[in-house]
């Protein structure tokens, strides 16, 4: 066995050289190992309004069935249809968390999520999970404004936002859902906005505090103003009526 505390001369020098090689190799493994370098994705939270909404779904991920279909379950009927996952034919319980969900429609241009009308509402942040957990450093993000050239005025709990991100704090999720298979606790924020046709809202737990979503896309709630036309060409008129 090589022991640098014993021996002398070339034997000891050889031991020290071998140890140096081992240390360097260990550092290289720690730096370049996928396990060491791959950050855990930031958890997304379910976000939906406290007003009537329709869920726009990706047709590659979900499909709907109606009465008479063998997979139809009236308990999950919203607007005459039940939403099922492609491939598994299962119910996505997280989507059904929205208490005022009225139906489903295929999404257009990748605009998935809860769609609703109104510029003053409560947005519910739901920590839906399959086990008890605590989400830390939740950030609520406002983006993908329509028209893309607009810059809306947004308030959260009556306070104007200086940037389009709101730090909502932590959320402990400990309450079993009625079905008993998952857990859900929520927080609700009073939102007001104006100056655009539409605003997307989503939330994630920024657990590494870098201010960036490390992971895939999150659930989105899309609020639009029924009093404002959606066309890009009307933006000058939009500004004139909202100022």
- In this structure, the answer to whether residues 175 and 203 fall within a common structural domain is yes
- In this structure, the answer to whether residues 3 and 100 fall within a common structural domain is no
- In this structure, the answer to whether residues 34 and 55 fall within a common structural domain is no
**Nearest residue to 191 (alpha-carbon basis) of 48, 42, 44, 43:** 48
- In this structure, the answer to whether residues 96 and 203 fall within a common structural domain is yes
Residues 6+ apart with CB under 8 A from 115: 53, 54, 55, 56, 105, 221, 222, 224
- In this structure, the answer to whether residues 34 and 137 fall within a common structural domain is no
pTM: 0.77
**Model pLDDT for residues 118-129, shown as the tens digit of each residue:** 999 999 999 999
Q: How far is CA 185 from the centre of its chain?
A: 16
For the chain, what is the domain count? 2
- In this structure, the answer to whether residues 62 and 89 fall within a common structural domain is yes
- In this structure, the answer to whether residues 89 and 29 fall within a common structural domain is no
- pLDDT by position in tens, the chain (length 243): 454 445 555 444 554 554 444 433 443 334 344 433 456 789 999 999 999 999 999 999 999 999 999 999 999 999 999 999 999 999 999 999 999 999 999 998 778 999 999 999 999 999 999 999 999 999 999 999 999 899 999 999 999 999 999 999 999 999 999 877 899 999 999 999 999 999 999 999 998 899 999 888 888 999 999 877 655 434 343 333 333
Question: What is the per-residue pLDDT for 180?
Answer: 78
- In this structure, the answer to whether residues 17 and 120 fall within a common structural domain is no
Q: Which helix (H) or strand (E) covers residue 237, if one does? A: helix 235-242
Phi, psi of 124 (to 5 degrees): -100, 125
Phi, psi of 103 (to 5 degrees): 170, -170
- Domain of 17 in residue numbering reads as 1-38
- In this structure, the answer to whether residues 67 and 135 fall within a common structural domain is yes
- In this structure, the answer to whether residues 15 and 88 fall within a common structural domain is no
**Model pLDDT for residues 86-124, shown as the tens digit of each residue:** 999 999 999 999 999 999 999 987 789 999 999 999 999
- In this structure, the answer to whether residues 104 and 19 fall within a common structural domain is no
- In this structure, the answer to whether residues 15 and 130 fall within a common structural domain is no
Residues 6+ apart with CB under 8 A from 70: none
Question: What is the per-residue pLDDT for 8?
Answer: 52
**Nearest residue to 220 (alpha-carbon basis) of 57, 50, 79, 86:** 57
């Amino acid at each position: 066995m090589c022991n640098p505390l014993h021996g002398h001369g070339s034997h000891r020098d050889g031991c020290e050289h071998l140890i140096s090689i081992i240390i360097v190799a260990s550092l290289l493994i720690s730096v370049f190992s996928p396990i060491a370098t791959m950050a855990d994705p930031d958890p997304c939270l379910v976000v939906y309004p406290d007003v009537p909404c329709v869920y726009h779904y990706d047709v590659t991920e979900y499909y709907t069935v109606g009465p008479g279909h063998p997979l139809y379950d009236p308990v999950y009927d919203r607007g005459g249809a039940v939403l099922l996952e492609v491939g598994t034919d299962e119910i996505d319980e997280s989507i059904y968390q929205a208490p005022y969900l009225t139906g489903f429609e295929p999404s257009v241009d990748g605009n998935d999520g809860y769609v609703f009308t109104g510029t003053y509402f409560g947005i519910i942040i739901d920590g839906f999970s399959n086990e008890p957990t605590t989400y830390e450093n939740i950030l609520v993000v406002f983006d993908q404004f329509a028209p893309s050239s607009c810059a809306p005025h947004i308030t959260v709990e009556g306070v104007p936002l200086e940037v389009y991100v709101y730090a909502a704090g932590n959320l402990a999720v400990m309450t079993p859902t009625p079905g008993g298979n998952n857990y859900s606790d929520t927080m609700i924020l009073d939102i007001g906005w104006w100056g655009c046709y539409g605003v997307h809202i989503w939330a994630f737990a920024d657990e590494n505090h870098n201010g960036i979503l490390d992971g895939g896309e999150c659930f989105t709630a899309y609020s639009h103003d029924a009093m404002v036309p959606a066309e890009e060409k009307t933006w000058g008129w939009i500004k004139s009526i909202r100022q």
